[in-house]
């Protein structure tokens, strides 16, 4: 969990995703956010504890707008390829092993070329 003033409280969270996990169908990204394609997303939450949520997220190819309000997210790409592009900024290339931090107030576009799977931790921001 993150705290104000730069101090960090460390808590061990165990995240594991079986290689043979069966991702079920998926939900469409809301039409008003879609720029291109028909992206579907699925979320597996493994931790929901106080201000912390952790788990796995998967999204099929497409381009869509997104924003983050009231929470910060750190994620690691497990599989896939694409980009996240903050409004008015350069693209961050997504590939296995890339770690991304998205702070509350972020808005931009996800461009997914190959189905993305990521492990994430979201913490409420104050």
Q: Over the stretch 20-49, which tens digit does the pLDDT of each residue have?
A: 566 777 899 999 999 999 999 999 888 888
Q: Show the domain range for 77.
A: 28-124
CATH number for position 111: 2.60.120.10
**pLDDT at 16 > cutoff 60:** no
pLDDT > 70 fraction of the chain, expressed in percent and rounded: 82
Residues in contact with 108: Cβ distance below 8 Å, sequence separation at least 6, in sequence order: 65, 66, 67, 84, 85, 86, 87, 89
Asked, for residue 6, whether it belongs to a domain, the answer is no
* 8 DSSP 8-state letter: B
**pLDDT at 98 > cutoff 90:** yes
Say what the pLDDT of residue 46 is: 85
Name the residue among 99, 94, 100, 101 with its Cα closest to residue 115.
Answer: 94
The verdict on pTM exceeding 0.85 is no
Asked, for residue 7, whether it belongs to a domain, the answer is no
Whole-angstrom distance, CA of residue 15 vs CA of residue 52: 13
Chain segment 47-69, per-residue pLDDT in tens: 888 899 998 999 999 999 999 99
Asked, for residue 62, whether it belongs to a domain, the answer is yes
Say what the pLDDT of residue 17 is: 56
**pLDDT at 106 > cutoff 70:** yes
Asked, for residue 4, whether it belongs to a domain, the answer is no
Say what the pLDDT of residue 15 is: 52
Whole-angstrom distance, CA of residue 78 vs CA of residue 69: 24
Q: How many domains does the chain contain in total?
A: 1
**pLDDT at 11 > cutoff 70:** no
Say what the pLDDT of residue 111 is: 98
């Amino acid at each position: 969990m993150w705290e104000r003033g730069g101090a960090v409280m460390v808590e061990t969270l165990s995240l594991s995703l079986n290689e043979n996990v069966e991702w079920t169908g998926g939900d469409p990204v809301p039409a008003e956010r879609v720029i291109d394609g028909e992206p579907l997303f699925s979320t597996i939450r493994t931790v929901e504890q106080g201000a912390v949520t952790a788990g796995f997220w998967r999204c099929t190819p497409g381009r869509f707008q997104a924003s983050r309000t009231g929470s910060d997210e750190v994620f690691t790409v497990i599989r896939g390829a694409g980009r996240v592009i903050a409004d008015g900024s350069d693209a961050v290339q997504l590939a296995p092993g890339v770690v991304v931090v998205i702070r509350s107030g972020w808005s931009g576009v996800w461009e997914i070329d190959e189905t993305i799977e990521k492990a994430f931790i979201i913490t409420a921001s104050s």
